[in-house]
Amino acid sequence: MADSLICIEHVSKAYRRDSLQIPVLADIDLTIDTGEFIALMGPSGSGKTTLLNLLAGIDTPTKGRITIDRRVISSMRETELARWRADHIGFIFQLYNLIPVLTAFENVELPLLLTRLSRQERQVHVRTALAIVGLSDRADHYPRQLSGGQEQRVAIARAIVADPVILVADEPTGDLDARSAGEILDLLNRLNTEHHKTIVMVTHDPRAAARAHRMLHLDKGVLSVEEPAAALDRSRDGR
Amino acid sequence: MKYFRFIWKNVFRKKSRAFLTMASIVLVLVLIVVLSSLLEALDYDTGRTKGAANVVVQHATGLGNFMPLAYRQKIEQIPGVVAVAPQIWFGGIYIDEKPQNFFGQLSTDPQVWAVVHDDYTIPPDQLKTWQSERDSFVAGKQLIDRFHWTIGQRIQVRGTYIPGTIDLVLRGVYTGPDESNIFFHNKYLENSFLGRLERTGIFYLRTEAPEKVPGVCDAINKMFENSDAPVKAMPEKQFMLQFTEMMGDVKLLFRSIALTVLFTVVLIVANTMAMSARERVTQIAVIRALGFRRSHVLMLVLSEAIVLALLGGVAGALGSFPFMWGLIGIIKHTPVAMFAYNLKISLATLLTAFTAAVGIGVLAGFVPAIRSSRISIVDGLRRVA
């Protein structure tokens, strides 16, 4: 457990709505090793996104401890957590969430504004990230001038530009057609295998989950099933 | 500086809204620059001009009452007095009563006119001709341009409170701080009831130096304080300010207007910024997720408001110049034309305008910036999900 990249210990999360306490996650234990590609599945409201938010450091657990790369992020103060996110986490959202007034280049450059890199150094990083996702020729395009698949690739370039250890993806293919979804999954696979990114992906799509090394099931806040993605693939094919 | 492009692009995210908001700031800034310049013109220190050594003497109860002409010799005896010219405001009608035909008509003593009005310039031959012809007059250059008068032209001005019509021939053109008047001989009014009463409206006099003005004023006031017609002697600037004071507390009015519109535009810009911030809750949540801190968001939203206000401020400051030139053109044709010569946009006024613009930005952007910085990342992202 000590050598794991992500270590979640007895983590619970509950939200307050007025006087009501709504439990979302209950006593979760999970470890994820460096270079793993994890698919997190489960029905709506099962707590997948909440678990993703917790390990990405944009939410804090009600109970338990989250350690990432030997640092306990669950007890970090907000400012410290923001710095940590900028250095360690790349976000990929279902609806891409690009800034509409910025070009693809400027969108990808955003996380680098938080670094001490010079303008020239930032340009090199951005061009490299855009090249990895295959959009070097679309650097000056605005999000509205791109297809959904291209927007998601720009979002992935933004996620990897600061070279984070972990990529968290919340239904990255949820808003894409089958072909674009396949391209995005190929890209995630490549980032995992060639660039050694640890990926945690929330998805409803069994085909997307099949790309992962491990598939985790969440149901009513309980991490109840854990099985290899390949098993799902076999069951789908009836083998 | 690396955030500037991001700030700039967000300012113009909704172009029409940004331009309309800027337009409101431009209007306010023009108003502030003009009102500040007017206040400066009213406060203009005549100590910087030749007219600073001039004194005006009027009846203690006001301009409606006249003083004995015999006071002139007594005033001339006061140490420090160089020359004294009795003057009467004729207040007649030229052509008709339309405002564009209005101008000041003053009777004076042409022999000392050039001495007491040492800040006016007139060709010596024209002055000499005017002094020698009882029915002649001189006019300011601005009036000549306005009415296209030529030397030798006759004009008739119908009296109002002084009965009768004066029929005068133009013999000279003067230039100076106030070119909106004509001057003609006191002798022309000798046959009027004022002439027969040997009274005058004011004494316009020049002292040896600006430093002599307070002493001369005191001496004149004391000299006639127990007479049947006590007087009030005052520096020329104070005399001119009486006319603006007649309109009430002009400065207070100007300042109240400026503050009211300033407050209104702060509300307008604040509303724009609040709308803009509300529309970008998800965007703010995304950049916070990427690692931007609350202080970054606060700085970005506040900077947007300040950039918007500063752009409006620059446009407003530049736009106020043509507006001011137009205003000066109009004032030059009014009885308070002398203020037009002091009316200009000073560096201090421009700095005031820029400070106001920054103030608008900070005040209007503060609350939306605070609110934006407090957006929860999870709640902001959930709005799309």
pLDDT tens digits along A109-135: 999 999 999 999 999 999 999 999 999
Q: pLDDT-based confidence at A231, cuts 50/70/90?
A: very low
- Do strands A198-202 and A166-170 pair parallel, antiparallel, or not at all (unpaired)? parallel
On the question of pLDDT at A233 being above 60, the answer is no
d(CA B181, CA A50): 83
| Tokens matching residue B354 | 């820029």
On the question of pLDDT at B24 being above 80, the answer is yes
Distance from B377 to chain A by nearest Cα, in Å? Answer: 6
| Tokens matching residue A48 | 């997948």
Give per-residue pLDDT as tens, B313-322: 999 988 999 9
On the question of pLDDT at B219 being above 90, the answer is yes
Answer yes or no: do B291 and A101 touch at CB < 8 A.
no
| Tokens matching residue B241 | 């300010």
DSSP structure string for B203-230: EEEEESSGGGHHHHHHHHHHHTTTSSS-
On the question of pLDDT at A239 being above 50, the answer is no
| Tokens matching residue A74 | 């669950």
Nearest chain A residue to B12, by CA: A101
Question: Given CB atoms, is A110 within the 8 Å cutoff of chain B?
Answer: yes
What does the pLDDT read at residue A185? 95
Nearest chain A residue to B15, by CA: A101
Crossing angle of helices B15-42/B347-373, nearest 10°?
A: 140
What does the pLDDT read at residue B296? 95
Contacts for A143-148 with beta carbons within 8 Å, 24 or more apart?
Answer: A143/A96, A143/A98, A143/A99, A143/A100, A143/A102, A143/A104, A143/A107, A144/A100, A146/A104, A147/A180, A148/A96, A148/A175, A148/A176, A148/A177, A148/A180
d(CA B215, CA A200): 92
Give per-residue pLDDT as tens, B200-215: 999 999 999 989 999 9
Q: Which of B373, B280, B378 is nearest to A170 (CA)?
A: B378
DSSP structure class, residue B121: B
Give per-residue pLDDT as tens, B123-135: 999 999 999 998 9
Within 115-144 of A, beta carbons closer than 8 Å to B belong to 119
Within 23-52 of A, beta carbons closer than 8 Å to B belong to 49
The burial of B244, by beta-carbon neighbours within 10 Å (0-12 exposed, 13-18 middle, 19 or more buried), is given as middle
| A119: Cβ contacts below 8 Å, ≥ 6 apart | B2
Question: Given CB atoms, is B247 within the 8 Å cutoff of chain A?
Answer: no
Contacts of B294 in chain A (CB under 8 A): 78-79, 82
| Tokens matching residue B21 | 């908001």
Contacts of A94 in chain B (CB under 8 A): 384-385
Q: Report the pLDDT averaged over residues B65-87.
A: 93
| Tokens matching residue B304 | 């947007």
Taking a C-beta distance cutoff of 8 angstroms, is the pair B91, B162 a contact? yes
- Do strands A214-219 and A37-41 pair parallel, antiparallel, or not at all (unpaired)? parallel
Taking a C-beta distance cutoff of 8 angstroms, is the pair A95, B384 a contact? yes
d(CA B321, CA B30): 9
The burial of B169, by beta-carbon neighbours within 10 Å (0-12 exposed, 13-18 middle, 19 or more buried), is given as middle
Taking a C-beta distance cutoff of 8 angstroms, is the pair B196, B68 a contact? no
Question: Given CB atoms, is A106 within the 8 Å cutoff of chain B?
Answer: yes
Q: For chain B, how far is it from start to end, CA to CA, in angstroms?
A: 33
The mean pLDDT value of chain B amounts to: 87
Instruction: Report the complex ipTM.
Output: 0.91
Sign, Cα dihedral of B369, A62, A31, A221: negative
| B272: Cβ contacts below 8 Å, ≥ 6 apart | B17, B18, B21, B308, B364
Give per-residue pLDDT as tens, B232-261: 999 987 887 776 666 667 778 888 888 898
Taking a C-beta distance cutoff of 8 angstroms, is the pair B339, B52 a contact? no
For chain B, where are the alpha helices, taking DSSP H only? Answer: 4-11, 15-42, 71-76, 110-116, 124-132, 141-147, 193-197, 213-223, 236-245, 250-279, 281-289, 294-331, 337-342, 347-373, 377-382
On the question of pLDDT at B195 being above 70, the answer is no
| B189: Cβ contacts below 8 Å, ≥ 6 apart | B88, B90, B107, B162, B195
What does the pLDDT read at residue B45? 52
| B134: Cβ contacts below 8 Å, ≥ 6 apart | B185, B187, B188
A93: region left, alpha or beta (phi > 0 left; psi from -120 to 50 alpha):
beta
What does the pLDDT read at residue B47? 44
Query: What value does the CA radius of gyration of chain A take, rounded to a whole number of Å?
Result: 18
Where are any strands of DSSP class E within B90-200? 93-94, 104-108, 136-140, 154-158, 165-174, 181-185, 199-200
Answer yes or no: do A58 and B381 touch at CB < 8 A.
yes
Q: Which amino acid is at B200?
A: T
